[in-house]
A and B are shown apart, each in its own frame.
Chain A
Amino acid sequence: MIMNSLYYQKKLSRNVGDKFFTSLSVFCALIAILPLIFVVTYILIKGGAQITPELFTLEPNPPGDDLDAGGINPALIGTLVITTIASIISIPVGVGGGIYLAEYSNGGPFSKFIRFGVNVLAGVPSIIAGVFIYALIVSTKILFGSMYSGLAGGMALSILMLPTVIKTTDEGLKLVPNELRYASLGIGASMYTTILKITLPTAFRSIATGVVLGIARAAGETAPLIFTALFSYYYIVGFEDLFYEMGSLAVLIYNFALEPYDAQNKLAWAASFILVISILTVNIFSRILAAFTEKTKRV
């Protein structure tokens, strides 16, 4: 009887309260994982059913013909082209800028301002990047008189990728131990040799992971493309197509999801399937790679 207070008492208010909040937290976690499961399941089922060889080779038919929607070849190639353009612009700029922040800057007001600017730019809504490129390039026809173009779309995406690339470069380089730099400078290498031959290769893996994730993210961005690259139903055949409207998977999903025709909706699901599978693959792969690196480091 006296020893009773030493045992766990189920009905004590603190224990009841603890049980209650624990189950509440478990409930939150269950709700939190539901969306991913539902979204991925539906995309696998509804999108996976549409995957045929023709899907990858045909042009989409203009909406209205309910029988056959065609394929998504132009959009698929368009997404590849536009993200490549965005990468060609943002990777050199971002890696270069990141090198300055991590290797040269000394924490002065300039680097503080740039780091702040990077964070602010990362928070700028993606549609604003589209609006900006529209005003700067599309409406002025500055690119050899072409208005909506794949090139403009790629530029809009590069604005969104830039903060990611700079941040990962900056943080990746900061993780490189200073001893490596001292050793290289100590044996007489110049700053630029040290950076290009020692620090950048050391940080290569983390930078590459961040950049690839950034590209995957950009591939799914729609808002900056809907009035810069617009959309096109036709095959991309040559270099000059860069200066015309260009389709992309993301815009195809947007346009065709809102069509009243079943055939177009199915095409949107198929495009989602391809987009989501490739993005998730990249994400999961980089996650496994990161976990693997951590394990080898610990040993």
Chain B
Amino acid sequence: MEEKLTLFKNRKRFGLEKNIDLIFKNTTLTLSSLVGIVLFGIILVVFFQSFESFSRYGLKFLVTSEWNPVKDEYGAFTAIYGTLVTSLLSLLITIPLGVGTAIFITEDFVPKFVREIVGSFVELLAAIPSVVLGLWAIFVMEPFFREFFVFLHKFFGWISLFSSEPAGRNSLLAIIILVVMLLPIVTSIARDSLNQVPKKLRNASYGIGASRWKTIFSVILPAALSGIMAGVLLALGRAMGETMAVTMIIGNSNAFSWSLLSPGYTISSMLANQFGEADGSQVSSLFYAAFVLMILSLVVNIFAQWLVKKFSLKY
């Protein structure tokens, strides 16, 4: 009996087959570690390329808004401010809109196939390339909103956000096109989180006499909150890095202005605009700006992942 077992244990595969197996495993291992290498590669390369500018301007780069290739003076405040303002304001509009749509899709106000159509329409919107949205924004959206902006400036000009004459391409248009791009992300993640809330919770709430919207506000939304938050953070990361549509419609001006109706800049639109023609220390400064953008989006993304892990629904 003993002998037989050891015999069984010792039965080996052919050397060749074993080697192939090992080689296959190690190949896949190498390929998967490439992800880590690429990620570190990106961070290191962008950091080292920005080193010249970093050692010259230090953190002053982040708070001055002079960008003058002729005088060789660089500061990215306008672009950083533009990135933060456009992404945060667009998110502020997208959150209620996206969550409202997600509630519409997960509740049963209308028959299921209507909700499915709405859901897939919103998801297909995410498939439209950003450059096409930019084209659409230039030729369709901008003329559509022109009168409205004039009105906005006339009646709300006393608010610093609307204090300048509306320019043909401006930050507010960039915010609107960002809303269009963020809507699918927020909606689909909010919908998934709402769908994950167990039916028991809803029935319990109905059972003690709560109305539909009392249930949604007091039971369903709080239960789905962590997922929605993570989706919102992912959308924020997308908004900060979004390049093409914003570049095409924001007007690309480095002159700092509080007003949303004047042309602006974001880090990514600055990169898209200047990288091709830059030379000398301008390249290094652009890399510095790219590094700032990368750190911003990394922080937001990592925080979103942490949030998902920490608060993922456990019912």
**Partner-B contacts on A (CB < 8 A):** 14-15, 17-18, 21-22, 24-29, 31-33, 35-39, 42-43, 46, 92-94, 96-101, 103-105, 110-111, 113-114, 116-121, 123-132, 134-136, 139, 159, 162-163, 166, 190-192, 195, 216-217, 219-223, 226-227, 230, 250, 253-254, 257-258, 265, 268-269, 272, 275-276, 279-280, 283-284, 287
Contact = CB atoms under 8 A, between A and B. Distances in A.
Contact of A124 (B17, B42, B214, B244): B42
Contacts of A253: 131-132, 134-135
Given A217-B127, A280-B127, A35 B180 contact: yes
B129 A128 contact: no
B100 interface: yes
Interface of B: 13, 17-18, 20-21, 24-25, 27-36, 38-39, 41-42, 45-46, 49, 96-101, 103-105, 107, 109, 118, 120-122, 124-125, 127-136, 138-140, 180, 183, 187, 211-214, 216, 234, 237-238, 240-244, 248, 268, 271-272, 275-276, 283, 286-287, 290, 293-294, 297-298, 300-302, 304-305
Contacts of A93: 31, 34
Given A22-B109, A287-B120, A254 B39 contact: no
Contacts of A257: 131, 134-135, 138-139, 248
Contacts of B97: 28, 31-32
The secondary-structure label for the interface of chain B is helix
A190 B19 CA distance: 11
B128 A276 contact: yes
B167 to A, nearest CB: 15
A127 B271 contact: yes
Nearest to A39: B136
A17 B131 contact: no
Per DSSP, chain A at the interface is helix
A119 B104 contact: no
A283 B32 contact: no
What 4 A-B pairs are tightest by C-beta distance, nearest first? A125-B241, A220-B129, A28-B100, A96-B31
Nearest to A113: B36
Given A21-B216, A125-B243, 12 more contacts: A39-B136, A97-B31, A100-B25, A114-B32, A124-B39, A128-B290, A134-B275, A135-B287, A166-B35, A226-B276, A257-B138, A269-B135
Contacts of A38: 136, 140
B21 A191 contact: yes
Given A43-B132, A191-B24, A159 B272 contact: no
